[in-house]
């Protein structure tokens, strides 16, 4: 057997849950309600919501652009909506959600789980053509969507039941109209509720990853987050990542399980996030790396106008983050940042604690509870400590393959001894901490030398004028490929010249890792989860530096 690095054992998962308050004793009435919820809904977000409504009924669950709503109010609405949909569409097997961040997304998720439906979470930035293909592939019986997607769904010719979530004008069938109806409750759910997430890749049709949510899996996910963050039921969390993405969904479910208050908006604005921290005395900020970049990109004088002393924790994940950004954030807000690493296929892999990042901003931390990690060479033998290889993962949510369709040619992920290939390259240090060196399909061969762009990106990001960067390979007649760097600077600031950047890189890396070309952009194009949209880089070109 190959050596591996494994997270905490199952028996230890209860410790962070107990200290967070999730397993503290409750009264008899509350205990009966909790037992009834588990009996009716099984291991699902419906049970999570029902338990928190029983324990924290009058506490504010969500604050969005409609204001605040309590756990009890959310539960009552979800119960009524689920009963009305069951009356209208008994036997519905799949419910898809196309919603931005607001209470309607949570209601739709809880309702789908109450009905025992597979939940399909759709990317809110899908082009119309892709949306049509994905709806055809998954064939949901019910589609809950925001009003802004009316025309796109019309163009798809979706034949199922459509329910409006966020709306500016009243629709005949909406979450609000269903919540006002009264019908007998749907029957109990006798099977694990499946969730389907779409991969956040930036090329080709997004792949669907479907898996059942089992009790042990849910507890391990929550326990991992608790062990690193020590979320507690009194936290007020500014939640910025899209809920449809695995990172945002996991944090949102964990927050609801603990009875915290979640503050969210349909679109992210860095200054609005700081205002939310100030106005609600928020204790936690959660955002993908590009959101963290935008927070530290606010001019210091402007940033100091917001009172953010209530923040005790910030959590990021879902995409690579430059060590320079981590250092800048710590300098601005203190050593409060936690970084999670994972993928849609593998689920949560590891978490770097505040202590890990203070010591080494480059690390992705140690494996999560129930997760085992191996670093394997190209011949699939174990890599040595410090040696870069492919990252393979076992445990956590588990990999169940991609959802297939009639025209799909997508290969499944490579699996070795039960370990799934994440597609990332990395290495381990002597303390079992993971470091991400790049994507296996991003490696560039230039003049016979292997280069992982992330290493070069991290160095360029250390330049004080650079706020964001991506490095790609472009064809070259002599070297096969050479590096091209796209970078963004703060608004109103003159971009550094190519010579300045080359000098900066040569002082830190080998000469063959210095890009041949530098292109300044207004901003690096990214999708909602922070992944770079490489096909759009040229359309954002501003000027060539140097």
| Residue ranges covered by each domain of the chain | 42-213, 444-544
Contact 325, 274 (CB under 8 A): no
In this prediction, residue 280 has a pLDDT band, given cuts at 50, 70 and 90, of very high
Counting residues of the chain whose pLDDT is more than 70, the rounded percentage is 84
Structure confidence at residue 93 (pLDDT): 95
**Segment 395-404 mean pLDDT:** 54
For residue 443, what pLDDT band results from cuts at 50, 70 and 90? confident
* Cβ–Cβ < 8 Å for 360, 404: no
Report which of 405, 542, 391 is spatially closest to residue 468, judged by C-alpha positions.
542
Q: Which residue has the higher pLDDT, 336 or 413?
A: 336
**Residue of 370 and 182 predicted with greater confidence:** 182
For the domain made up of 444-544, the CATH class stated in words is alpha beta
Model pLDDT, residue 26: 59
CA distances from 132 to 128, 153, 194 (A): 6, 8, 22
Percent of the chain with pLDDT over 90: 58
Please, which pLDDT band fits residue 69 given cuts at 50, 70 and 90? very high
- Please determine, for residue 406, whether its predicted confidence score (pLDDT) is greater than 50: no
Question: Looking at residue 278, what is its pLDDT?
Answer: 98
Q: CA angle at residue 385 from 379 to 391, to 5 degrees?
A: 50
For 546, residues 6+ apart whose C-beta sits below 8 A from its C-beta are: 497, 498, 499, 500, 501, 518
Q: 16 pLDDT exceeds 90? A: no
At 545 the pLDDT is 42
The pLDDT score that the predictor gives to residue 24 is 59
In terms of Cβ atoms closer than 10 Å to its own Cβ (0-12, 13-18, 19+), residue 96 is buried
What angle separates helix 103-114 from helix 28-41, to the nearest 10 degrees? 70
Split at pLDDT 50, 70, 90, the class of 12 is very low
- The mean pLDDT of the chain is 86
Q: Is 123 left (phi over 0), alpha (psi -120 to 50) or beta?
A: beta
Is pLDDT at 296 greater than 80 in this prediction?
A: yes
Q: What does each C-alpha distance from 318 to 72, 89, 201, 247, 372 come to in angstroms?
A: 31, 35, 12, 6, 19
What was the pLDDT predicted at 102?
98
Secondary structure class of 144 (helix, strand, coil): strand
At 190, the pLDDT band (50, 70, 90 cuts) reads confident
Give the residue among 342, 313, 340, 341 at the shortest CA–CA distance from 329: 313
Q: What is the tens place of the pLDDT at every residue in 127-152?
A: 888 899 999 999 999 999 999 999 99
CA dihedral 178, 183, 184, 188 (to 10 degrees): -10
pLDDT in tens, 467-500: 999 999 989 888 889 999 999 997 777 899 999 9
- Structure tokens that stand for 179 in this block: 């919540």
Given a contact cutoff of 8 angstroms between Cβ atoms, the answer to whether 375 and 385 are in contact is no
pLDDT at 433: 95
SS3 string, 36-76, reads HHHHHHCCCHHHHHHHHHHHCCCCEEEEECCEEEEHHHHHH
Least confident of 55-69, 92-106, 532-546: 532-546
pLDDT reading at 10 higher than 80:
no
- The continuous run of DSSP H or E covering 350 comes out as strand 347-352
- Longest distance between any two alpha carbons in the chain, whole Å: 76
What confidence category does residue 13 fall into, taking pLDDT thresholds of 50, 70 and 90? Answer: very low
Altogether, the residues listed in the chain come to a count of: 546
Window from 262-276, 334-348, 378-392, 469-483 with minimum mean pLDDT: 334-348
DSSP structure string for 151-203? HHHHHHT--SEEEE-S-SS--SSBHHHHHT---PPPPPP-SPPEEEEE---SS
Stronger pLDDT, 50 or 34, i.e. the higher one: 50
Which residues does 91 contact at the CB level (< 8 Å), separation at least 6? Answer: none
Asked whether 540 and 468 are in contact (CB, 8 A), the reply is: no
> Does pLDDT of 202 surpass 50?
no
What tokens were used for 191?
């099977």
For 431, other C-beta atoms within 10 Å of its C-beta total 12
pLDDT in tens, 150-163: 999 999 999 999 99
Confirm if 297 and 524 have CB atoms less than 8 A apart. no
Q: pLDDT per residue over 364-392, tens digit each?
A: 999 987 789 999 999 999 999 999 999 99
Contact 440, 452 (CB under 8 A): no
* Yes or no: domain 42-213 corresponds to CATH 3.40.50.980: yes
Q: What is the pLDDT of residue 522?
A: 86
The helix (H) or strand (E) run that includes residue 133 is: helix 128-138
The secondary structure of 200-220, three-state, reads: CCCCCCCCEEEEECCHHHHHH
Q: Which residue has the higher pLDDT, 190 or 336?
A: 336
pTM: 0.83
Q: Which has more pLDDT, 109 or 195?
A: 109
pLDDT category of residue 283 using cuts at 50, 70 and 90: very high
pLDDT band at 203 (very low <50, low <70, confident <90, very high): very low
Given a cut of 90, whether residue 413 has pLDDT beyond it is no
pLDDT digits (tens, 9 = 90+) for 210-233: 545 555 666 655 665 566 567 888
């Amino acid at each position: 057997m190959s050596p591996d690095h494994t997270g905490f054992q199952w028996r230890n998962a209860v410790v962070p849950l107990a200290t967070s308050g999730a397993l503290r004793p409750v009264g008899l009435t509350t205990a009966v309600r909790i037992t009834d919820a588990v009996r009716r809904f099984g291991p699902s977000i419906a049970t999570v919501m029902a338990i928190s409504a029983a324990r924290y009924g009058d506490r504010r669950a969500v604050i969005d652009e409609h204001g605040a709503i309590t756990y009890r109010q959310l539960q009552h609405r979800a119960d009524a909506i689920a009963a009305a949909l069951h009356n209208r569409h008994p036997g519905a097997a799949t419910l898809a959600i196309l919603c931005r961040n607001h209470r309607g997304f949570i209601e739709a998720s809880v309702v789908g789980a109450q009905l025992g439906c597979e939940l399909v979470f759709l990317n809110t930035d899908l082009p119309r053509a892709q949306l049509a293909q994905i709806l055809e592939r998954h064939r949901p019986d019910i589609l809950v969507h925001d009003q802004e997607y009316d025309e796109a769904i019309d163009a798809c010719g979706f034949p199922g039941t459509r329910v409006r979530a966020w709306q500016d004008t009243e629709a005949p069938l909406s979450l609000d109209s269903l919540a006002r109806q009264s019908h007998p409750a749907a029957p109990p759910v006798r099977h694990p509720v499946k969730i389907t997430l779409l991969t956040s890749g930036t090329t080709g049709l997004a792949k669907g990853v479907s898996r059942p949510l089992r009790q042990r899996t849910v507890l391990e996910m929550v326990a991992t987050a608790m062990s690193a963050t020590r979320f507690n039921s009194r936290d007020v969390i500014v939640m910025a990542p899209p809920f449809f993405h695995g990172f945002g969904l996991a944090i949102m479910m964990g927050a609801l399980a603990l009875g915290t208050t979640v503050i969210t908006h349909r679109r992210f604005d860095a200054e609005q996030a700081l205002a939310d921290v100030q106005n609600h005395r928020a204790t936690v900020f959660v955002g993908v790396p590009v959101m963290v970049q935008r927070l530290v990109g606010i001019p210091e004088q402007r940033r100091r106008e917001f009172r953010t002393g209530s923040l005790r924790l910030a959590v990021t994940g879902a995409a690579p983050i430059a060590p320079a950004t981590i250092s800048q954030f710590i300098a601005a807000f203190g050593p409060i940042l936690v970084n999670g690493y994972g993928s849609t296929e593998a689920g949560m892999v590891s978490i770097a604690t505040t202590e890990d990042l203070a010591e080494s901003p480059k690390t992705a931390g140690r494996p999560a509870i129930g997760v085992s990690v191996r670093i394997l060479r190209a011949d699939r033998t174990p890599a040595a400590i410090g040696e870069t290889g492919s990252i393979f993962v076992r445990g956590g949510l588990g990999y169940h393959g991609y959802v297939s369709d009639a025209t799909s040619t997508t290969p499944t992920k490579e699996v070795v001894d039960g370990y799934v290939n994440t597609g990332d390259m990395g290495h381990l240090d002597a303390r079992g901490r993971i470091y991400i060196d790049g994507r296996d399909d991003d490696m560039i061969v230039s003049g016979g030398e292997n280069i992982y762009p992330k290493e070069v990106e991290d160095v360029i990001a250390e330049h004080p004028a650079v706020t964001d960067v991506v490095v790609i390979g472009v064809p070259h007649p002599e070297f096969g490929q050479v590096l091209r760097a796209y970078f963004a600077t703060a608004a109103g600031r003159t971009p550094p010249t190519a010579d300045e950047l080359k000098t900066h890189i040569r002082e830190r890396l080998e000469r063959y890792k210095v890009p041949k070309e530098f292109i300044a952009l207004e901003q690096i194009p990214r999708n909602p989860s922070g992944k770079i949209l490489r096909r759009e880089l040229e359309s954002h070109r501003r000027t060539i530096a140097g």
